[in-house]
Amino acid sequence: MTDEPKPPVAKQVQQERTHHGDTIVDEYAWLAEKDDPDTLAHLEAENAYTEAVTAHLAPLREKLFGEIRTRTQETDLSVPYRMGAFWYYTRTVEGQQYAIYCRVPLADPAQTTPPATGDGAPLPGEQILLDGNALADGHEFFSLGAFDVSPDGNRLAYSTDFTGDERFTLKIKDLRTGEVLPDEVPDTFYGTAWSYDGGTLFYLTVDDAWRPYRVWRHQVGTATSDDVKVYEELDERFWVGVDLTRSQRYILIEAGSKITSEVRVIASDDPASEPALIAPRRQGVEYSVEHHGHRFLILHNDGAEDFELAYTSIDDPTSWVTMVPHQPGTRLESVDAFAEHLVISLRRDGLSGLRILPLGETEGYDMRFPEPIYSVNIDANPEYQTAAVRLRYTSLTTPESVYDYDLATGDLVLRKRKPVKPGPDGREFDPADYEQHREWALADDGTRVPISLIHRKGTPRDGSAPCVLYGYGSYEASMDPWFSVPRLSLLDRGMVFAVAHVRGGGELGRHWYEDGKLLAKKNTFTDFVACAQHLTKAGWTSADRLVARGGSAGGLLMGAVANLAPQAFTGIVAEVPFVDPLTSILDPSLPLTVMEWEEWGNPLADPEVYAYMKSYSPYENVSDVDYPAILAASSLNDTRVLYHEPTKWVARLRATAPRGHYLLKTEMGAGHGGPSGRYDAWKDEAFIAAWILDRVGLAD
């Protein structure tokens, strides 16, 4: 009989910091030294411990991985989208980790139906633009940042990251010859834009705090050392983006903080011209710009909490004329301009939606969908002159589906629904075998909080069913219903899956976000607890069968509810969790910190913010209570949530509440999104799913 594995014990080194008269001792601050051999040794010891105590789950992990793989059509082809004289698409090949990026020429200029193959095989006449597998060869991690074909179709700008730190090397490929040009720029950010003639490329670089702040102009064929700095953003609260309008007539340079924005434009046929300002920034006013004919469309929140749509002449962009007025409760999120139609992406009653505005109309009509809860979004639509709009639809029971919506007839044509192959038992997937529901929890302050949930038909509602409750609740990001092949392995074992649409997200409009940020951030946490309590009271599950799950800012949520209501859960999965927010937001040298002050507040300058953040920070509030079992997952090269946050958290949990079961799993060669290859990602998901099933007694 072997001894039970013993968890690593992190050494304690007393380090003090004082702010606003408050002194904190952080005995694990040393773990932030990434290059310290002791840090790396501790992370390796944590990984070894996690592997040892979960070794009994290895057969289940393999089984779950096999179920994911069996249900997935591994050799597959996306629905091609038209741009210029080509159809563009990606395809995957069984046994290969990454996508292959391809195009084929149009068979006929009048062709509107995208080509397809039934088995995911290459299309006739295929040209491979990039093969992710070839690029990733020899690297543990691979991620593609930019993939941008010039308007004339002759050149491709692409960028690669081989560590997970999201610093990309930008390259240009001549698609006529297949040659990768010597033009190469290291340390770039997401986002590029071509000039109209494809001879000039705009791109972004970041500062030391990982903030995109400079826009550069590169003339193809010249030395990158001669590139011209087009714009530099000096305000550290603001990030910068660059894009080409769908009309291909204007390059947009967008500067934005969490609550303020400013846009400049450059005529794409005159790329060396000075950027022209649309409207100067005003604190608290956000706006975005789209080009349409002889006007710019302006989506803004100036006196319109849930945004309204205006237009302005290209000749006088300062004079805004309201086109779609503000309607409280209907959050306008974006506008896509086509030659004869506008498509507005919106959100109402906790659901996403699309509104079609034919040219000359201001009211238009909203598209209707049959399911009670769903998610719909505009998909790839690069063509300005088009008779159809490509959209993507899914729900908890409907696999991701690509449609073309005929703008003239209103017909919705299904181009492809993501295949779900039979499971290992040979049983075909049937959406009718599952039920999805929308329920509402009641928060302590009387606010109704929506919950989306799915379960297999016949799952008992007597409190005996195990359940996973997922949450996020920050940055106005909405956790819209989505279909998941790996989730089927849980549902078919009798689990319920639920999403808590807590405040801090954007599901119910701008006010839903405002009520879950800054000095109202605790609403995010209490909403999640209210959702957990609702699920138990309604008989969907019980506290000893309920596992909470969230990542990044949702990992902050996990840490906070562990302190707030440890008795409400039997397990918590915290992925790349932001569990030491006060320490991070106090340090303006860290990536993203200054930009985050408008989301969390500035604890450096404001004692009230400092005290409030300290009162909910998971790391600061660890105490000697009976915590649920906790699985924390992290990545060493993550630049968004630094690896040491969950590492310190788990160390303090073990030291302060030693009766608990705490695991830390760190990817030593990945970034914020975890493993990059699809098979590696499936194995990672199988690891988490096996741990969850073990917590609720379903590992066998």
* Closest CA relative to residue 45, chosen from 658, 643, 665: 665
Q: Which residues pair with 204 in a beta bridge?
A: 215
d(CA 108, CA 82): 12
How big is the CA angle at 443 (ends 441 and 447), to the nearest 5 degrees? 90
Catalytic residue list contains 638: yes
Q: Are 401 and 394 in contact (CB under 8 A)?
A: yes
Q: Are 189 and 171 in contact (CB under 8 A)?
A: no
Please name the residues in contact with 315: beta carbons below 8 A apart, sequence gap of 6 or more.
none
Q: How many other C-beta atoms can be found within 10 angstroms of the C-beta atom of residue 356?
A: 17
Spot the catalytic one: 291, 672, 676, 684. Answer: 672
Question: What is the amino acid identity at position 674?
Answer: G
Q: Which residues pair with 266 in a beta bridge?
A: 251
d(CA 397, CA 433): 9
d(CA 183, CA 171): 6
Catalytic residue list contains 150: no
Please name the residues in contact with 87: beta carbons below 8 A apart, sequence gap of 6 or more.
80, 81, 103, 104, 105, 106, 114, 115, 123
State CA 139 to chain mean position distance: 24
d(CA 154, CA 359): 32
d(CA 10, CA 33): 14
Catalytic residue list contains 589: no
d(CA 521, CA 575): 20
- Output DSSP code: residue 373: S
* Backbone φ, ψ for residue 465 (5° rounding): -80, 135
Spot the catalytic one: 306, 480, 638, 684. Answer: 638
d(CA 252, CA 265): 5
d(CA 604, CA 588): 9
Q: Is 376 left (phi over 0), alpha (psi -120 to 50) or beta?
A: beta
* Backbone φ, ψ for residue 119 (5° rounding): -110, 10
Q: Are 649 and 559 in contact (CB under 8 A)?
A: yes
Spot the catalytic one: 257, 552, 584, 635. Answer: 552
List active site positions. 552, 638, 672
